Amino acid sequence: MTEPKDEGSTQKSAPTGRPPARWRYLPLAALAAAAATAGIAALLVNIFEHKQEAKSPFYRVVELDDTIDDPAVWGKNFPLQYDGYRRTVDQKRTRFGGSEAVPRTPTEADPRSVVAQSKLEEDGRLKTMWAGYAFARDFREERGHAHMLEDQVYTERQIAAKQPGTCIHCHASVYVPYKKLGGGDLMRGWEAMNQMPFPEARKLVTHPVSCIDCHDPESMQLRVTRPGFIEGIRALKASMGEADYDVNTMATRQEMRSYVCGQCHVEYYFKGPEKRLVYPWAKGLKVDEIYAYYEESGHSDWTHAESGAKVLKAQHPEFEMWNQGVHARSGVACADCHMPYQRVGATKISDHHVQSPLLNVNRACQTCHKWPEDELRQRVETIQSRHFEARSRAMDAVTALISDIRRAKEAGMAEEALAGPRAAQRKCQFFVDFAEAENSSGFHAPQEAMRILASAIDICRRGQLSLRDGTPPEE
């Protein structure tokens, strides 16, 4: 007989014909491994393709050369940059700058349906300061690069006074027209256009600032094409002991990222009957050095209608003022803030939508300054609000001096006695105008801007004292 087994004893299960449970997961593991391998391979391929894409930042759709100034043609090879360039038609105002779209009724003489706000209407003291000059007739907030040519064509300053072809230098794409006019010689063409009446010179240009004005079509390297800057920077370097400076062969790439902007955003004047454009940098870039240059040359822009003083009009000295600020000293270029780098897919480009950094704080400021946008914007506006207050006090000082000189002249004061106060007006007005015309509202160089305005107020006060007691306005 077979003895019964104990209940606690073990007994092997009969074979079922199926693999152990752990083996049943092997196909799933293999499938997962294959999927992971495929994903990694796809990722590596994608990385490789993006690296190749980054190495080839553009596709040569059209051949470019030194005769093509149409930005739309360049845009076929550089569509990302061209998209940004086209956006410079917008009008956005920050607290202390920028333009806003003001509707107007088009006329046969001026077809514009939108313009920027009038700065003369915003501050009537400017009319007093510029009495007798074309700027007292029409002066509006600057608009984007897309408007730079038409706004110069249709400004009422063209009616108030005959403008020379020199104005085209900074209001149009001039490289190709200069070359054509000069028979292939850039400088000769520039000299010829300077002497033309503005309407005649206008017929020779087609576009506002274009790609060819800042880029070599063969290498895409930055270059300076404006003769005014080429001569101006050579004179500046000579004053610093560096003779025969050639900006296009001797400047660094980072310097060029400011120099291409400095071609136009500068102080200047028209010299002699040939209306040669001159950047007055032979003594330096500071307002005192530029004023000393004008004093030595004897240049004046017009005779003031109320005071009779031989006065100067500052233009838009952003390049000069930026050079006195901490950003310039730290190696920060104009393009770093106004055309910051951006990522489009795998491509890194400069944003060609040139605008105020306050409209693009993230990329323009936070690359270096690791604080919240609101705090950075508040810091800038604090600087600008203090500048605006000091500028307003300086404007009061200038207009008060002008009024005092006018009253003294009407009362019969001798010309000899008026000479000192008029000299004070010439200097303090230029200093105020220098800070007023510079379009950063003091931000480019806050301490320098405040020094300029404080000096202007003091000079105006000395001019008023000179009227009262006959003392010289300056020691």
- What is the rounded CA–CA span in Å between residue 247 and residue 230? 7
pLDDT confidence band for 21 (50 / 70 / 90) = low
Mean pLDDT of the chain: 92
Residue 10's pLDDT band (cuts 50, 70, 90): very low
> Residue 211: is it exposed, middle or buried by C-beta count within 10 angstroms (0-12/13-18/19+)?
buried
| Residues 216, 174: Cα–Cα separation, whole Å | 14
User: How many Å apart are CA 153 and CA 174, to the nearest integer?
Assistant: 15
Residue 234 pLDDT > 70, yes or no? yes
- Percent of the chain scoring above 90 in pLDDT: 85
* Per-residue confidence (pLDDT) for residue 8, from 0 to 100: 46
CB neighbours of 155 closer than 8 A, spacing ≥ 6? 138, 140
For residues 285-294, average pLDDT: 98
Q: How far apart are CA 282 and CA 293, in angstroms?
A: 7
Scanning the structure block, which residue is given the tokens 């902007």?
261
**pTM of the model as a whole:** 0.87
Q: Look at residue 336 and tell me whether its pLDDT is greater than 80.
A: yes
d(CA 435, CA 349): 33
Is the model's pLDDT at 471 over the cut of 80?
no
User: Which tokens is 220 given?
Assistant: 């895409």
Q: Give the pair of three-digit tokens for residue 24.
A: 């049943």
Q: Which segments of 155-271 does DSSP mark as H helices, in order?
A: 157-160, 175-181, 186-194, 198-202, 227-239, 247-250, 253-262
Residue pair 323/442 in contact by the 8 Å Cβ criterion? no
| pLDDT-derived band at 379, boundaries 50, 70, 90 | very high
Q: Which residues of 259-296 are buried (b: 16+ CB within 10 A; e: fewer)?
A: bbbbbbbbbbbbeeeebbbbbbbbbbbbbebbbebbee
3-state helix, strand, coil in the chain (%, to 5): 55, 5, 40
pLDDT (0 to 100) of residue 1: 46
Q: What is the DSSP letter of 210?
A: -
**pLDDT band for position 364 (50/70/90)?**
very high
3-state SS, residue 153:
helix
For 45, phi then psi, to 5°, come to: -65, -40
The mean per-residue pLDDT over the stretch 137-149 comes to 96
Residue 9 has pLDDT above 70, yes or no: no
The whole-angstrom separation of Cα 221 and Cα 248 is 10
CA proximity to 464, closest of 416, 422, 409 = 422
- Position 116: which residue type? A
* pLDDT tens sequence across 149-161: 999 999 999 999 9
73/45: higher pLDDT: 73
pLDDT at 107 > cutoff 80: yes
CA gap 283, 236 in Å, rounded? 7
Domains (range + CATH), the chain: 71-359 (1.10.1130.10)
pLDDT of 24 reads 62
pLDDT surpasses 50 at 127:
yes
Mean pLDDT for 252-260 is: 98
Q: Confidence band (pLDDT; 50, 70, 90) for 263?
A: very high
Whether the per-residue pLDDT at 135 is higher than 90: the answer is yes
Q: Which of 425, 348, 450, 460 is nearest to 129 (CA)?
A: 425
Distance CA 288, CA 340 (A): 32
φ, ψ of residue 131 to 5 degrees: the values are: -55, 125
Report the C-alpha gap between 165 and 202 in whole angstroms. 7
Residue 340 has pLDDT above 90, yes or no: yes
The whole-number average pLDDT for the span 233-238 is 98
CB 128 within 8 A of CB 137: no
- What would the mean pLDDT of 250-262 be, rounded to a whole number? 98
Radius of gyration for the chain, computed over Cα atoms and rounded to the nearest angstrom: 32
Lowest mean pLDDT among 11-15, 175-179, 212-216: 11-15
Each residue's pLDDT tens digit, 36-53: 787 787 777 666 655 555
For the cut 90, the answer to whether the pLDDT of residue 35 exceeds it is no
* pLDDT of amino acid 15: 54
Mean pLDDT throughout 203-223?
Answer: 97
Taking phi first (over 0 means left), then psi (-120 to 50 degrees means alpha), and beta for anything else, what does residue 352 get? alpha
Nearest to 97 by CA among 78, 122, 74: 122
- Count CB neighbours of 88 within 10 A: 19
Model confidence pLDDT, tens digit, residues 401-419: 999 999 999 999 999 999 9
